[in-house]
Structure 1
Amino acid sequence: MSQTSQPAFNTTPTVLALIALNVGIHALRLLLPDQWSMIAGTVGAFLRPGSWAS
């Protein structure tokens, strides 16, 4: 299978992934308002080590 390098086919998966991530985050915030700060803190600690240890 030869892949054609067209910008539309290259950027679409990334855009869809970002949209899905956004929707998932908003869904978590709506469904789990109490645990959201804990989840955000845990994810933030993994993404940016040291930034949450203030």
Structure 2
Amino acid sequence: MSDNRIEKLERELEELRGLLTSVILSGRFRDDVPFEALLAQNEIAGERRTALNLVLVALC
């Protein structure tokens, strides 16, 4: 396998892990974790999730 293919698969795996974490933490979109629910509902994970968190931290 080429290095580019491996890197792509690693990124996809990381995004799937992030999405799974969001779904687990949201507990099927519980009211007490609305941000995790929003991330899961909009399939925001991996690099996009990290970028969003950095923007939110910068704004706070």
Q: Normalization by structure 1: what TM-score?
A: 0.52
Higher relative contact order (CA 8 A, sep 6+): 2
Larger Rg: 1
The residue number in structure 1 matching 2:48 is: none
Stretches (4+) displaced over 4 A: none
1:1-54, Cα deviation, whole Å (9 max, x unpaired)? xxx8532112111110000000110111116724313xx3xxxxx52232xx6x
5+ residue gaps, structure 2? 36-52
Residue 9 of structure 1 is aligned with which of 6, 10, 14?
Answer: 6
Name the counterpart of 1:47.
Answer: 54
Percentage identity across paired residues of the two chains: 12
| Cα distance in 2, alignment partners of residues 15 and 7 from structure 1 | 12
Please, what is the CA RMSD of the aligned residues? 2.6
Give the number of aligned pairs.
41
Considering fraction of residues, name the structure with more helix: 2
Q: Give the structure 2 partner of residue 28 of structure 1.
A: 25
TM-score, normalising length from structure 2? Answer: 0.49
